[in-house]
Amino acid sequence: MKKLTKLFNFNSYSFSTRVICSLILFIVFFIFIKIALTSTKIENNSLNNEIDYITKTLLLTKEQIKIIGKSLGMQTELEMDLTKKIIEDEIKNIDLKIDKYSSKDYITDILQKSAISNYCSYKTSNDIKYIKDDDNFDKNNLEILKDWQIVKVEEKNKTFSKKNYFLYNYLLKEQKVLLEVGCSKSFLNLNHMGFEMSLKEHLKANLLIDPTLSSTKMAIVWINPKALDNLNSILFEENEEIRKNKYTISMLSNVENIPTGNLTLGEILNQKDTHKPISHKIDKEEVLTWIIDLSTNNSSRKLLLLYSVDKKQLEEKNHSQIFFLLPETLLAISISIVLILFFFRRIINNINTLTKTAIKVNKGEKNIRSNVKGDDDIGILGESFDSMLDIFENNIKILDEKVEEKTKEITKSLEEKEILLKEIHHRVKNNLALTISLIELQEEEIEDEKTKKVLVDIQERIYTMELLHRKLYESTNLNKIPFKSYTLDLIKTISKTYDKDEKVKIETSIENIDLNIETAMPYGIILNELITNCFKYAFKNQDEPKLEITISKKNNEEISLILKDNGKGLSKDFSKLSNETLGLRLINMIVNFQLMGKVIYEFDNGAKFTILGKIKE
C-alpha cells in the first residue's frame, strides 16, 4: 500500500521528472481542453457537412434519374417506331397475299399467323376480330388511313397517368376491306422492359448513400393528382386500399411504405424545393427526411424521392468520427514528449545529478561533488553547489577539531566534579554515620524511655539519609540511586532493629527504578516512617504478622508506593491522626509539598497506605 501511495505521490519524484511530467500533463491537458471546447463545434460542422453531402448526392441522383428517364424515353420512341414499321410492312405483305377471291377464313388465318397478332389487336370490316389486351376501337377515326393515331384511355396505371393507345387503319385493296389495328404502348415496346430493369437495378444499387446507416429509408413515390385537393391531410396511410388512391411506391424503394410519419402532403410539397431535410418524428424517434421532386416540368403528376435517416444514428456516426482524431492526438503528444526530452535532456541530467548529490550529502557523504559545469543557470548552480560543499567540508573539519578539544575539556571537568561529588557524598555519609554513633552513645547514658525513643527515631531518620549517600557513593552514576536495592537494605535494617526474631513475613514487589537524590530522599523518609510504625504498633497480639510493600513506576511520571500490613489498623481517622503524630505529619508534608502527590489510607484487613508522587527530574 505504501508503494502504491508513493507511486501517486507527485512530491516523491525528482525535480526533472516533475518538470517533464508537468510539461506532458500541460500538453495533454491543453489538447483535451481544445478537443472538449471544439468537439461540439466539430460535431455540428460534421453533422452539417454530412447533411450537405446527402443533399448534394440526392440532387445528383435526381439528375441521374432524369437522364435515365430521357434514356428510357428515347429507347421507347425508337423501339415503338421500329415496331410500327414492322406492323406496317406486315400489313402490306398481307395485302399482297389477298385477292378478291380470298375467303374470310383464309384472311383470318393469315392475320393470326402474321406478326401483327404478336403486338396488337385487330378487326376488319367483314367482322374478323382479335383482341390482345384492350378493345379501344370505338375511339378510332376511320377516316385516317395509313397513319398512327394516339388516343388517351381513361384507365390509369400505378403512376396515375392516362394510358396511350395506338390505332392504325389500312384498306385492303382487292377485298375493299378495312383493317383496324390497335396497340398498347407496352406491346409496341416489348424490349423496353429488360432495358428499363437494368437501368433501375443500377439506380437502386446506388440510391442508398450510406449503407452503414441501418436506419436509412428510401422511397420513390407517385402522388395521385386527386390527393392534391387535400393538402392538409397526413400523406402516410397504413390501409393498402386507401393508400392506392393517395400514392404508389416504386419497386426501387427499400420500404413497403413511405417514411413521412405525420407529415401532411402540404408540408411535403413545400419542402421539396428547399433542398433541405425536414426534421420530424417517426415512432417517437427524431428523423431527417429529404424530399426531392423528380417530376418533369410538363407533368401534372408528382414523382417524389423520399430519403429518411435517423438523426440520432447520424449524430452517433459523426460523434464516432471525432474519436478518429485520437490517434493523431496521441501522435502529437508523443512527438511533443520526444521534443521535450530532446531539448531538456542536458538540463534534466544536470538537475538529476545535483539532486542525487544533495541526497548523498544529506546521508553523510561529505566528500562527494556534482561536477556540473556550464555557462547557463544550472551550470552556475552546480559550480556554486560544489564550492559550498568545499566550504562546508572544511568547516566541518574545523568544527570537529574544536568539538574534540572541548569534549576533552568537558570530560576532564566532569571527572574532576565526579571525584569531588563522590568525596562530598563520602564525607556526608561519614558525618551522618558519626552522628548516628554519637546518638547511640548518648542513648546509653539516658534513662528516660521517652527521650530514648525520640533519639531512636532521630537515629533511624538520619540512617535513611546516610544510606542514600552510601548508595550514591557506591553507584557508578552519582545522579542515579538503585531504589530497589536501597529499599531492600532499608527494610532489612529496620527489621533487625524491631524484629530480631524475624516473626514478620515481609513480601516485596519492587521495580528496578533509578531515582535521583531529590526523589529518592523523600520516598526513603516515607518508607522509614511507615515501616517503623508497622513494626512498632501494627503487630501487637498478631500471631502471623505480615507486611507487603509494592513500588512501581507509572507513565514515567509518578511513583506508586503501596504498604499494607495485617495488623489492627489506625485507632483514629487518618486525617485527625496525621495532625497529632510527628511521623504521619511528616509523611503528609513530604507528599504534598515535595512530591506534589497524595496519600490514600484504607483499612483492608489491616492498614493500607498508597502514596502517589511525582518524579523530580
Q: How many Å apart are CA 380 and CA 265, to the nearest integer? A: 84
Residue 238 domain-assigned (yes or no) = yes
pTM of the predicted protein model = 0.44
Residue 183 forms beta bridges with which residues?
A: 166
Buried b (16+ CB within 10 A) or exposed e, 70-81: eebeebbeebbe
Residue 567 domain-assigned (yes or no) = yes
Residue 586 domain-assigned (yes or no) = yes
Residue 38: predicted pLDDT: 60
Q: How many Å apart are CA 383 and CA 374, to the nearest integer? A: 8
User: Count of domains in the chain?
Assistant: 3
Residue 46 domain-assigned (yes or no) = yes
Residues 50, 92 within the same domain: yes
How crowded is residue 128: how many other Cβ atoms within 10 Å of its Cβ? 16
CATH of the domain at 173: 3.30.450
Residues 515, 600 within the same domain: yes
Residue 561: predicted pLDDT: 93
Residues 140, 219 within the same domain: no
Q: Which of 322, 344, 363 is the last residue of a domain?
A: 322
Cα 535–540–545 angle (5° rounding)?
65
Residues 30, 151 within the same domain: yes
Q: Per-residue pLDDT tens for 379-393?
A: 777 777 777 877 877
Residues 217, 162 within the same domain: no
Residues 28, 166 within the same domain: yes
Residue 146 domain-assigned (yes or no) = yes
Q: Which of 322, 352, 387 is the last residue of a domain?
A: 322
DSSP 8-class letter at 228: G
Rounded to the nearest 10 degrees, the angle between the axes of helix 483-498 and helix 449-474 is: 150
Q: Is 445 exposed, middle or buried (0-12, 13-18, 19+ CB in 10 A)?
A: exposed
- Residues 6 or more apart whose Cβ sits within 8 Å of residue 419: none
Residue 253: predicted pLDDT: 78
Residue 347 domain-assigned (yes or no) = no
Q: How many Å apart are CA 271 and CA 547, to the nearest integer? A: 117
Q: How many Å apart are CA 198 and CA 503, to the nearest integer? A: 135
Residues 179, 314 within the same domain: no
Residues 509, 615 within the same domain: yes
Give yes or no for a contact between 504 and 547, defined as CB atoms under 8 angstroms apart.
yes
Residues 516, 547 within the same domain: yes
Residue 349 domain-assigned (yes or no) = no
Q: State which residues form the domain around 526.
A: 499-617
Residues 173, 287 within the same domain: no
Residue 506 domain-assigned (yes or no) = yes
| Under-50 pLDDT residues of the chain | none
Residues 173, 222 within the same domain: no
Q: Read off the C-alpha cell for 338.
A: 520526444
CATH of the domain at 550: 3.30.565.10
Q: Which of 255, 287, 322 is the last residue of a domain?
A: 322
Cα 495–496–502 angle (5° rounding)?
70
Residues 528, 607 within the same domain: yes
